[in-house]
């Protein structure tokens, strides 16, 4: 009797670990490039699971690349002028950050002489895109490669502008990675795999339409970067929803804590069987 119960205990133990720690879906696009090129990469992954039946814990995007170079990075601070002509701190692109988007939700406050006026801390060239959103739904954008100050007229009155987005990319190197058009980081320098970790909430938004698109922009300094993208893997970590009359969310606890706690169960049971 005791020997018959031992396999049953082990099976239940392993099954409970799988339930507590969740599941993983993954897909890989391999041998994307056989050698180095300057071509940007776009790869779309189709997600087969019903997003309404799972709780996405996190998502990881792994990019295997070769001969990646950062170029010469630097620290950049950005200021914006307010309607009174005063200079206000907008943000910073420190070392290791080559791309950042700023959103202005009060465009009237920053309509200095009916224009967006930006000032930078360095004279290094950067790519700047300014996007204006009108109350009627129309959108207008302008892009610049500038070293110092930027002055951009509002395409319509500031009062009819709902928001302004300012996208800044340093022209210092670093190959940017985007998921569904959203910047997530740059590739590690040299050879190897760069892993981008996405939160459960963001991953759910990306996967809600049944697919995600990974875009790699091979730009470095003033020309395209000459690198090789070997492989892209997407991993989605999730738990299944369950419960009567609604979805009961399973909380993903640390794996180490789960294993330590669950290891005691068969030990206690076996000791009692032997006593």
Lookup: tokens for 154: 């509002």
- Closest alpha carbon to 188 in 178, 197, 196, 200: 196
pLDDT of amino acid 65: 95
Confirm or reject CATH 2.60.120.1150 for domain 76-170, answering yes or no.
Answer: yes
Residues carrying CATH 2.60.120.1150, the chain: 76-170
**Tokens at residue 235, please?**
């991993």
* Rounded Cα distance, 238 and 19, in Å: 11
Nearest by Cα to 227 from 93, 70, 100, 29: 70
User: Tens of pLDDT along 154-184?
Assistant: 999 999 999 999 999 887 767 889 999 999 9
Sequence-ordered list of residues with C-beta below 8 angstroms from that of 90, at least 6 positions apart, any chain? 78, 79, 80, 102, 118, 166
CATH 2.60.120.260 residue ranges of the chain are: 23-70+174-240
268: Cβ–Cβ under 8 A, 6 or more apart, which residues?
none
Which of 146-175 are b and which e, b meaning 16 or more Cβ less than 10 Å from the residue's Cβ?
A: beeebebebeeebeebeebebbbbbbbbbb
List the chain pLDDT tens, one digit each, 275 residues.
555 455 445 545 544 444 455 799 999 999 999 999 989 999 999 999 999 999 999 999 999 999 887 777 889 999 999 999 999 999 999 987 888 999 999 999 999 999 999 999 998 888 899 999 999 999 999 998 877 789 999 999 999 999 999 999 887 767 889 999 999 988 988 899 999 999 999 999 999 999 999 999 887 555 567 889 999 999 999 999 874 333 333 344 444 444 454 555 555 555 555 55
pLDDT at 108: 96
13 phi/psi in degrees, rounded to 5: -65, -50
Query: What CATH homologous superfamily does 23-70+174-240 map to?
Result: Galactose-binding domain-like (2.60.120.260)
pTM listed for this prediction: 0.69
């Amino acid at each position: 009797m005791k020997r018959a119960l031992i396999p049953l205990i082990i099976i239940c133990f392993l099954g409970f670990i799988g339930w507590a720690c969740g599941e993983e879906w993954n897909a890989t696009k391999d041998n994307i490039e056989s050698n180095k090129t300057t071509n940007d990469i776009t790869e779309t992954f189709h997600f087969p699971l019903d997003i309404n039946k799972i709780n996405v814990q996190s998502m990881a995007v792994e990019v295997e690349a070769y001969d990646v170079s950062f170029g010469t990075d630097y620290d950049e601070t950005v200021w914006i002028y307010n309607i009174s002509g005063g200079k206000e701190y907008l943000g910073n692109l420190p070392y290791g950050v080559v791309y950042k988007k700023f959103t202005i939700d009060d465009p009237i406050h920053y309509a200095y002489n009916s224009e967006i006026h930006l000032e930078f801390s360095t004279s290094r060239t950067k790519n700047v895109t300014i996007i204006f959103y009108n109350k009627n739904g129309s959108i207008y954008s302008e892009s610049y490669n500038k070293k110092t100050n930027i002055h951009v007229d509002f395409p319509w009155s500031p009062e009819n502008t709902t928001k302004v987005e300012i996208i800044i990319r340093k022209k210092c190197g670093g190959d940017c990675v985007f998921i569904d058009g959203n910047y997530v980081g740059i590739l590690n320098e040299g050879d190897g795999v760069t892993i981008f970790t996405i939160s459960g909430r963001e991953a759910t938004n990306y996967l809600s339409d049944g697919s995600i698109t990974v875009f790699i922009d091979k730009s470095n300094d003033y020309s395209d970067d000459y690198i090789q993208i070997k492989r892209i893997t997407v991993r989605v970590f999730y738990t299944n929803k369950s419960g009567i009359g609604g979805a009961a969310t399973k909380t993903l606890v640390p794996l180490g804590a789960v294993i330590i706690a669950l290891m005691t169960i068969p030990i206690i049971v076996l000791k009692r069987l032997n006593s």
